[in-house]
Each structure stands twice: as C-alpha cells, then as structure tokens.
Structure 1
C-alpha cells in the first residue's frame, strides 16, 4: 500500500522541527558551558601605563579590605607588633605616582625610567597579629601641626622622607623652602606645609657623628669621630619635635675610627696598620653619642620648653645578587615569603645594638621627662622585598641601546612609589599610639 500524502507531509514537517530545534539548542548549550567555565576563573586585573600614571581596573573579585572591627582595633593597641608578617596582594595600589609627586628623585623614579613591570606596586604589608591601616595623609598632617620633623642620616633617610612627602602631597602640597647646596645627594633641605604650619627637614649625616667622607679625589676610606655629634643636625635639636634616625650601610665601608682624638681602630684598611675592629663597635658608639647628645641638649635649661620624640630606624638590607661593583643585580619580581628568608648576621647585629642603645637612652631620659625613644624595626619587612629596588632602572631606559655594560644596579634604595611607603604607614601608627598616651 502506498504512503498517504498527509502522513508524508507530517513526517517531513516533524523532521524539520527537530533539526531546527537541534541547531538552535546546540549554540545555546555551548554558550551556557562557556559562562559556567568563566565563572570558575577570576577576572584578571588590567594595568595600563600611560604618561607615567598607573590606571588599575579591578574586578569584583579583588581582595576586600579587612572588615573585622576587632582586627582594626588591634592597630591601635600598644602591644601591636607591626614588624613581623608577610606581604600580600593588594590591588588598591599606591597613593601617588610619578606624575602627581614632584619630590621623586630621578634615581628612584622607576616607572619614568622605563621599568616595564608594575606588579611590585600591588602588595601590602600584613602584620601577623594585627592590622596595618592604609596611610591617611590628612591624619598625619593633623598630628604634626605646628611641628618640625627631621630625618637625620643616610640616603635611606632621604628615600623615606621623599616617600612621605609624596604621600602627604595627596592631601596638601609642601613648599621647598631651603637647600644648602647643589649636590642633591648630600644637601640638607627643608619643606613647609602652609596648610598645617608643619616643617620637614632632611639632614645629610651618614655617620650621625662628625666625620669625613671618602672621595675619588681623596682618601679611599671614611673617617669618623665616634664621640662627637655632627653639628650639622645637632645644633638644631632645640627646634625639632621628632627625629627619625637612619644609618647603616656606610659603617660597612672602609673607615678609620677616632675616639678622644686617638685612633680607636679601622675597618678594611689593612695598609694603615691600625687595629682591625668589627662594624658593631663603631655603630654602637656612634648611636650612643647621637642619643646622648639629644638628651643632653634637650635637658638644658633653654630647651626645656618642649620635648622631643626620637625614632631609630633599623638596617635596611640590600638585595644584590653578586657584588654591586661587579655587575650585581636584583632581578626578583615578587616578595619573599617570611618562612623562606631570614635576617643575616649583619642585620641581626645592627638591630640588637639599636634596641639596646635605645633602651639605655630611655633609662637616661627618665630623669628629665618630655623625651620618648622608639626602635623602628623595618629590617624584616624590607628584607622580604627584593623586587622593590630600581635595579638598572636607576637611569632612564637602560636597555634602549641594548644590554648595558658597566652600569651599576641600585639594590639598596627603593622605587617611589614602592615598598618604602609602608615604612611611613607604620610611622603614622607609632605617632597615633603616642597621641593616645597621657
């Protein structure tokens, strides 16, 4: 029997509907699978570098800020230890950049100098048992209103102060009101914040005590007089409310040390036939002279009208792979983990001596009142950041003409912005703690 025309048409129509349904559902199914897979993958953070400005687009999966009120409360406890912890990812980025801050010196202006990576900008320091808040420029300026803050010491004192000026400039711009020379690396400078009548001074004094620096034209070694405070800064103690002391690396270079107008010994000067002494002896004596000088000058009759706060910053480790003068570099792109990197003998010895001398100064100052001393222990958190130095980008675009030859990397100082900004976050917390004390 032949097929009925109606049935044939019905079967044909059914097949067409099934085919159309299949072809319609197939791409929809693939699209659904794709969305499901994408939901399992975090959205990347896209960074654009334009005119030295960092623009960051964050996904909804960026790490949220801490919301625990108990954790935030610990930030203001006197017992909070900000110095042990780890660096964790933070997509917020720095407060400033090379375009918004004019205080960045060329050697630390890493992005302007062509550093191609920017990942080193997206980490924050997370203390082990408390929370370090994001830096608040306005709060810092309020705390130093009508005050004079001095950074005394080596190039890392300068590095930290320039970082601080950049952070504060996001709230109020400072004026450079004084400089005593044309050598930007070794000159004293002063900035004034008209909005809060606050002054910041930088005193170049890498030995803290009186001394003569080595030079290409003169001696190959430094000369230090360990029992004489450097009057370059000491003469102004009566006008200063807070001193941040920074020293270290210069005490590891060849030097001859004097005490009482006689040679105490030398370091790395075997041809001079002096007694060879370890670096720990001169750093202890130089710091003791410095702190005693501050106490004596503030305790005098003319200086009793106001007190002084003194913060001693510990040693900031370098990260050279190889010797700096033999092509040593610092190529790391991420921080170390705390459990994988510990302080060496030099850093540990520096910190031990600094803690002991500050405690001794506290005991002496108790007889006078109005003097506070604190150790600012940045050694461990700085040790964990081998990625934060200018390296070869201490000069503009070092690879523009191929691989550089005989160009020294900078694995001591810090890019601005960079990890050193965190030091000022901790400095603010110290000042907030002091403000709450009677």
Structure 2
C-alpha cells in the first residue's frame, strides 16, 4: 500500500499531464547523453595528446610540459636511445613501453671519429652550438650543428718553401658527451645538453720530410698542459682556433687557408716596424741565459720602447712565435746556428723564447754547464723534456781560419777560401741549420785583402774582398750540396745584419747611444750590400734548396736596437773615463730585433707544414 501510494499522482493524474511528464524525462536523458558524449571525446583527445609527443609539442608547449613529466634522461638518450617519455602515471601501467623520440628534440649524434688536427696553426672547426628556444616547461635541448669547413683549394709551393713535409697527422677523438644540468629545488626543469669537446690549440702536427720535424699535439706533453682536455695558454697568437680562424701577431684573424695563402705570397722582408704593447715575447730580465753583452735591461738601459716594436710585412701579418708549439714541432731534433756573433745573438734569442715556454725551466741547460757563451767553439742547450737541442757553432767566415809560416819563420793568419770550418762534420746531420756570415768581412784585414786569403798552398798577395767573399760562399755552397741531405735537413741562410756606428767604426769611437727611435723613412736606409748580391747569386746556383732570410733592410731600420753603452756592467778604468768611446752598434739588445728574425724562421716552418697538408 505504501509502494502504491508513492507512485500516485498528487493532484490526480490525467493523460495530458502524463505525456508532458514523459517528454520532460526524455529531455533530461538527451542532456545526459550529450554530456557523456562530450566527456568521452575529451578523454579520447586527451589520450591522443598523451601518446603523441611530437603533436603535443607542436600543439601546445604547456601540454608538453604536463605530459612529459619529470623527463629524466638516461645515458641512452644522449645518443638517440630509447629513454621513456611517458608521464609517470602512464609509465606505472605500461612500465616496459617505449616511444621513439622526435628528431626535433634529439641532438644529431656527432660521429665518434677522429678530429684531424691541421698542421697549419689551427684545428678543424668544432661543432657550433645552436640553441633551440626553451619550452614553457623549461625542458631545453641543445643541438650540435657542425660548422662547414672552408674549401681547401690547391696551393703551389712557394720558392721559399722547401723541402716538402711528410704528413703524419695525429688525431683526436671527439665524443658526444651529455650531462644533466643540476636543477634548483622545487624546479621540474631538466636540461639535456650536448657539451662540445674543447679542441686543443693549433699545433704543428706534421713531419718536415727528412728533418723529421714531427710535432705532437699540445696537451700530449705533461710539461705543457695541466688538463689533458684543456689546452695550455697559447702565446696570444690564435684565439679563434676552434672556428678554423687564425690570429696574426697584430691580433687580426682570418680563415686558416686564406691566412696561409697570404703568408705564402708575402714578402716577409718588405715592411715596417709598428708599435705593439704585447711585445716583447719574454719579460726583460727574465732570461738568465742572455749574454751580458746583449742584456741591455740589466745593464741599465732606461728606455723601453725599443722592446715594443713588431715587424709587419706589407702584404701579410707574421704569426706570433709560440715557443711551446715550436718545441712540440722539434721534439727529438737538432736545430743548429752556424756563423758569427750575430748568429749567437739570434741563437740566444731563440733559447730564451723557447725556455720561457717550458714549465720546468730547470730542465733547460747548456750541455757542458756553461754560463757564459763566449770564447768556446760550440755551445748546446738541451731541452730535456723534448729531447731537443739548440746549438751554436762559431764559424764567422764559414770557411777555415788558417796559419802559415812567414818569411821570418813566424806564423801568420790566413783564411782558407777553399775549406769549410772544422766543425762542419759535427752539424752536417742536424735537422735544421741556420748559417750566416758578414760582419767579419768588413774588418781591416779582410777589407784590405793583403797576404791574407789562401787557396791550397797559395796565399794571395792581394785579393779584392768581394772576390774573396764569392770564393768563400761558393766553397760553402759546394760543401752543402755534397754533404747535406735535403731529404733530412732544412737549410737557412740569414742575411747581413746592419750596424749603425756614427762618427767612426766599432774600433774607432763609433756611437749610437743617442738613438732611441727606429728609422721610419726608407730613403734613409743604406743601399743593398754588394756582398749580399753575390750571396744571392750563389744560392740560386745551388742544387740544395736554401731558404734565404733576408733581414738586411728590416734590421737597417733599427738604429735604436743596439746595446751602445749598455753592453756591460763593470767598466774598465779607461771605459769609465770615456764611456761614450766604447759602444756596440753591431749586436742587438735582447729582447729585441733577433726575436723578429726567429718569428720569420717560425713562419717558414709553419708554411712548410701547411704546404704538406694541402698536397
């Protein structure tokens, strides 16, 4: 009865009211059906977004953040592996599921091959990082885009560049390292980053044929690098090495191939001296190996501008000499200077530059423990960590000084124009040999040429000094052609170094102490020496290629660079009375002009290596 009463119409039902009530119920069911349909479509659409990450990313960055969840990246992901990209609650139900990542977000793998270190002062360009715009969820992926290398065109060997280089390029493995950036507490952001490998600084990594100038990359030697993945501080010469660019001593940069092409076609010896506060190459007073005669700084010279000049050829920029890199080039080799005290000047300059680049300078020493480098026939500095020596052999004429008995039975000095110096047998197998002669041919005895020059047993009563010089350098040239193996040794000849005595000569009160600025106008330079014209003619007739370092004009500008009165600290009584009477206007202060000669030597070696890389 109660159940019947519950369904009774309140006011007494009729047909019309029952039909209306039925339609009302139908309307309510339609609404519910529409609501259920809408909810089902929403769920399907949401599921579609959840299982399609690329669509999610392109549709809405915020939805990408919602569905990507924590997105921790395991080791595989860095290599394009199958790290899970499901939200946490979906991964709970499908723990073994995997979804391939979109190529849009995965950095392309860098080949784990070799990165060839180019022999011409730079390395192949490292991959450049191109960073994508971060998503709203702060998930950020960086993509490595390798920079394209400039085309390496054909290069003809310059007449100055010989012999060829035998390339044995060391390689360096580049790995696609991945790291997760730490996130601050409460932040859901993780960052997947492909970290570029730091390239080693440019190295000379080829072998100069025969001479065996074979470098190893900077960083392979513990004395040069503290961290095997981080290069040592390179001497200000190549700051953009990772991008395949070269820096000259002037600080300018260009593509490495263009830079070497400019060097190959450049006359190194036609230019000017320009101020450069980054010079000298080593701190004045820092090298205890400089002979007192050249150590103007310690001898009290007050002006400093002569140390801050750089030689700038008109058609190019010379590379700044990096001693560490040059040592890497010369591991296990012998570099020898042969000639007069001006070559000793250049030898001491190079020893100081290279020593300044060595981490443990106690491992650089003279072979016989000598501290003074005058009076002996030969000297040799050993760079122990590199098994490398820089040597100097005294031979001011390149031919042999001799003695014969005169009419009174006494011995008199002569110069054998037909024999090279006695020490030649000791250096003929060296890897690099730099010869010079010049100043001793201007002395009174050689200039007069009376009863001094000898060939065989014949002593000339009188012989013109130019003819004697021609005979001497011809003897030297024939010895080089016969005894030097051009497939093993590289031969240089350094030209005449100008002197600047005023009011007399070296032994007659000549002076230069008032000179504190270089000559700036070429019209004030002296004419090219006839002796050097003779030398050039002899060099052209040789079978062995000899690179001529024609430093005559560039040195003639530098009347300010001589020791003058700052040649020694302890003067004799006579020197104290008339100090201006005793001056050295032939040799050069160190640091100073000979450093630039060595930069030219360095540039020539770099050119040889680059030439071999291109062939």
- TM class by smaller structure: 0.7 to 0.9
Residue deviations 1:131-160 (CA, integer Å, cap 9, x gap):
112211122112212111110010001000
Mapping for residues 17-416 of structure 1, pairs under 5 Å: 65-69=250-254, 73-74=259-260, 77-172=263-358, 173=361, 174-178=364-368, 184-212=374-402, 223-232=414-423, 234-253=424-443, 254-255=445-446, 256-263=452-459, 265=460, 274-277=461-464, 279-298=465-484, 307-323=488-504, 324-330=506-512, 331-344=514-527, 347-361=528-542, 364-365=543-544, 372-396=545-569, 404-405=578-579, 407-416=581-590
Contact 1:181 1:187 in 2 (8 A): no
Distance in 2, matches of 1:167 and 1:191, equals 13
CA offsets per residue over residues 223-266 of structure 1, 9 Å max, x none?
2101101121x112443111100110111221311113212x3x
The answer for unaligned runs of 5 or more in structure 1 is 1-63, 214-218, 266-273, 366-371
Relative to 1, partners in 2 of residues 1:417 and 1:77: Cα closer, same or farther, differing over 3 Å? closer
Deviation of 1:398 after TM superposition, in Å, equals 6.5
What TM-score results when the alignment is normalised by the length of structure 1? Answer: 0.72
Looking at structure 2, the residues matched to 185 and 415 of structure 1 have their Cα atoms a distance apart, in angstroms, of 20
1:299-330 alpha-carbon deviations (Å, 9 max, x no partner): 5xxxx9x5211111111111000113232111
CA contact (8 A) 2:565 2:579 kept: no
Which blocks of at least 5 consecutive residues in structure 2 are unaligned? 1-248, 404-409, 447-451
CA RMSD of aligned residues (A): 3.0
Give the whole-Å Cα distance in 1 for the aligned partners of 2:371 and 2:355: 24
Question: Cα deviation per residue 1:259-316 (whole Å; 9 max; x = unaligned)?
Answer: 13212x3xxxxxxxx2241x221222212211221221235xxxx9x52111111111
Runs of 4+ that moved beyond 6 A: 179-183, 397-403
Aligned partner of residue 235 in structure 1, secondary structure = helix
How far has the Cα of 1:76 moved from its partner? 5.9
In structure 1, what is the Cα distance between the partners aligned to 2:321 and 2:375?
Answer: 27
Query: What is the CA-CA distance between 1:119 and the residue it aligns to?
Result: 1.3
Q: Against the structure 1 CA distance between its residues 109 and 317, is the aligned structure 2 distance closer, same or farther, given a 3 Å change threshold?
A: same
Q: Which has the higher contact order (CA 8 A, sep 6+)?
A: 1
Aligned residues: 346
SS of the counterpart of 1:77? helix
- Structure 1's 128 and 403: CA in aligned 2 closer, same or farther, altered over 3 A? farther
What is residue 598 of structure 2 aligned with on the other side?
A: 424
The question of whether the paired residues in 2 share the 8 Å contact of 1:75 and 1:133 is answered with no
Quick one: structure 1 residues 75 and 95, their matched pair in 2 at CA, closer, same or farther if it must change by over 3 Å?
A: farther
Q: Deviations over 1:349-389 (max 9, x none)?
A: 1221222111111xx23xxxxxx411110000000000000
CA apart distance, 1:92: 1.3
SS at match of 1:95: coil
After superposition, the Cα gap between the structure-2 partners of 1:231 and 1:187, relative to the gap in structure 1 and judged at 3 Å, is closer
Q: Secondary structure at the match of 1:325?
A: coil
State the distance in 1 between where 2:472 and 2:282 align: 36
Write the distance in 2 (CA, Å) between the matches of 1:82 and 1:286. 27
Between the aligned partners of 2:328 and 2:386, the Cα distance in structure 1 is 7
Q: Does the Cα contact within 8 Å between 1:287 and 1:354 map onto a contact in 2?
A: yes
Distance change >3 Å, CA 142–CA 394, structure 1 → 2: same
Native 8 Å contact 1:147 1:241 kept in 2: yes
Deviations, residues 182-216 of structure 1 (Å, cap 9, x unaligned): 87244311111122211111101111111149xxx
CA distance in 1, matches of 2:325, 2:263: 18
Question: CA 1:162–1:188 in structure 2 vs 1: closer, same or farther (change >3 Å)?
Answer: same
Per-residue CA deviation, residues 159-198 of structure 1 (Å, 9 max, x unaligned), is: 0000011111111242211379987244311111122211
Structure number having the greater helix percentage: 1
Deviation at 1:403, TM superposition (A): 6.4
1:80 positional shift? 1.5
